[in-house]
A = this chain, B = another copy of it.
Amino acid sequence: MGGRALVQWEHNRDNAPASLTVDLYSGGAAPADVLDEVAFYQVPYAPSTQGADERLDVIARMPSLRVVQLLSAGYEHVLPLLPDHVTLCNGRGLHDASTAEHALALILAAQRDLPRWALDQRDRRWAPRPVSSLADQRVVIVGYGSIGRAVERRLLPFEAEVVRVAGRARPGQDVHGADELHALLPDADVVVLVTPLTEATRGLFGAAEFALLPDGALVVNVGRGPVLDTDALLAQNGRVRAALDVTDPEPLPADHSLWEAPGVLLTPHVAGGSAAFYPRARAFMDIQLARWAAGEELANVVRPGARTER
């Protein structure tokens, strides 16, 4: 393929096929002298950027553009900025290891009372109390895609039992459909929400679902905040526990009552962007640039450009 590639990391520039001209851009002021020729643009990854963003505005200044590569899973915000002929690829899969790991961190923190010990440590208080465990718990994974499978792989050696739920049942894979969720909740010890946000998943876990859980059950959300109904959680008043990396609203305002809700543990949307993300993203970019240079089909295409075959 002709034209330049603009990527974030020296690693990918150094590993790129010799036939590619690769420049670096990690955000901020764009390299104006190369924008005319950029055909492949990897938008620099920045986990917590919000609002207006030079990294996206610069797309309008790339007349030779053919491919935009995001390293996030979400891509809807970029679609309005793309000419029809530009192919859009996302970062599906690159956050799986990081997100699944955080789900386990949240489950274990809740079961092992880690927030209590953090506060006791600050108060210089040695006061052991019995703690729960992950062992022997029945964990319902809601959203059995690649992240859900990554969560499951990490859960099983803890001698926990996993129940799989996806939008549609896949009986051959022992995956229950969302329509069976209500029947599964009364026997759940832990529920892990790892679904993307769609019209089908918005508010998926609300008052009816909380009501079906046994006392002391734990709901973990590492998907998207609005999948869980915040008011319904608050109404539980500690009867059901929660460990949330994503919230609705997000960021959570300082005066929101979720901060002090009993039995609720919060982390500020850090699941997917841990150190685990970077080596996986760099390795993906090496392969993606090699595909591009060879004229092969790209991975993770979420919207093909109008001039490519569809």
Contacts and interface: CB of A to CB of B under 8 A. Distances in A.
B276 A98 contact: no
A179 B182 CA distance: 56
B117 A119 contact: no
B276 A136 contact: yes
A179 B123 CA distance: 39
A274 B131 CA distance: 5
A114 B114 contact: yes
A119 B306 CA distance: 50
A108 interface: yes
A268 B158 contact: no
Given A136-B279, A154-B157, A251 B102 contact: no
Contact of A134 (B101, B120, B130, B260): B101
Contacts of A153: 157
A127 B276 contact: no
Contacts of A102: 112
Interface string A117-144: 1111110111111111111100000000
A159 interface: yes
Interface string A246-285: 0000111011100110000111111001111001000000
Which 9 A-B residue pairings sit nearest by Cβ, starting from the closest?
A133-B276, A135-B276, A105-B108, A126-B251, A115-B118, A133-B274, A128-B268, A118-B118, A105-B112
Given A97-B159, A114-B115, A135-B276, 13 more contacts: A47-B128, A97-B135, A101-B108, A101-B158, A111-B274, A117-B266, A117-B270, A118-B265, A131-B270, A131-B273, A134-B276, A153-B157, A154-B157
